[in-house]
Structure 1
Amino acid sequence: MVADMAGSSEKFKIVLKPVTAEAVPSGDAVKVATGGVQIDVYPEREAGGPERGLTPLGLLAASLASCEVLMSRLVGRMLGYNGFDVRVAVTADIQVAEGLRSLSIRYVFKGVDMDTANLIVSKVKELCPVYNSLVRNGVSVEENVEVE
C-alpha cells in the first residue's frame, strides 16, 4: 500500500505479508492461533455460547477497531500530530444468513481539534486494510467523530 498524505510530501509504503490463522476444536471452544498467539474463541451467545468470551463476530469488530486506532496513530504521526489519543468503538450488525449488514464506528479524539480529527479519519479510511476489505464488499458504514 502506498499513500501520499495531503499537505505533505511524505510518502510511505507498507507491504503486508500474507496472514495465516489456524483454528482447531477444543471442547466447546475453538483454539485459534495467529502471530504466535493462541486464544479461545466461543460460539455466539445466541448459538449456545457462554455469556463471556471472544466470539468470531466480536473478533471481527475488534479487528476493525484495533486497525483504526493503529492507523490513526500512524497517520497522526506522519502528519506531525503527536501526543493525541484516540478511542474507537465498533458496532457490527451481523445476521447469520445475511452476513455483515452495517457498521457503526465511533472515533473519540483527545488532544487535537475537530478539523485535525476529521483529517486523520479521512486518511485512515484510505489506508486501513480491514476497513477497506469491508467497505469494498458493500458493507454500509456510519461514522461519528468526536473530540474531547
Structure 2
Amino acid sequence: MKKVLLFLLLCASSASAEFYTWKDRAGTVFYTNSLHEIPARYRSRAMQLDVATGKKFPISAAGQPAGTAAPTATGAPPAPLTVATPVPLPTPPPAPTPAAGQPGSVQQLRASQPGAEQRPGFTIAPNNPAPTPAVSSTPRMPAPKPRTRPARVRNPEDE
C-alpha cells in the first residue's frame, strides 16, 4: 500500500501545470491556473509560479513566462508544430450469420430432429426461451385456512 501511495505521489508531483498569481490594489493575492482569468489591469503585474521550485517568473506579452523560449524576431522561421491527428480505432468485422445448411442454422436443427414440429410445447426458433417445466422443485405451501370465530354458546337464561 505504501508503494502505491508513493507512486501516486511521484506521479502527481511530476504533473506540469501553469499557475499564475497577482495582487490587487487592496493587497489581496489571487491564484489561478488560467491566464484569461486574470483581469486586464493586473495582467502586466501577474507572475507565473513554478510549482516545483516555488519561483515566480514575469509573464511576457505573448502569454509565456519570460524565462522560457519565446519566438525570435530575427526572421528565422519558427519550428513547425506537430499536430497529433486522432487515429480511428479498428472495428472488428460483423459476426457472420449462419445461413441455411450451415452448422448451427435453424433449418439444420429442424432437419436433425424429425417430428419436433408435432410435439406440443416444443418449438425451434431463434431467441426463444426454453419451455418452463410444469413441475417445480420448490415445496408447496398449504393455503392459509380462513379464520373463523368460535361458535357462540347461548345460554337460555341470558335472554
- Determine if the TM-score, normalized by the shorter chain, exceeds 0.5: no
Instruction: Calculate the TM-score normalised by the size of structure 1.
Output: 0.17
Going by fraction, where is strand more abundant, 1 or 2? 1
Question: Rg bigger for which structure?
Answer: 2
Q: TM-score, normalised by structure 2?
A: 0.16
More helix per residue: 1 or 2? 1
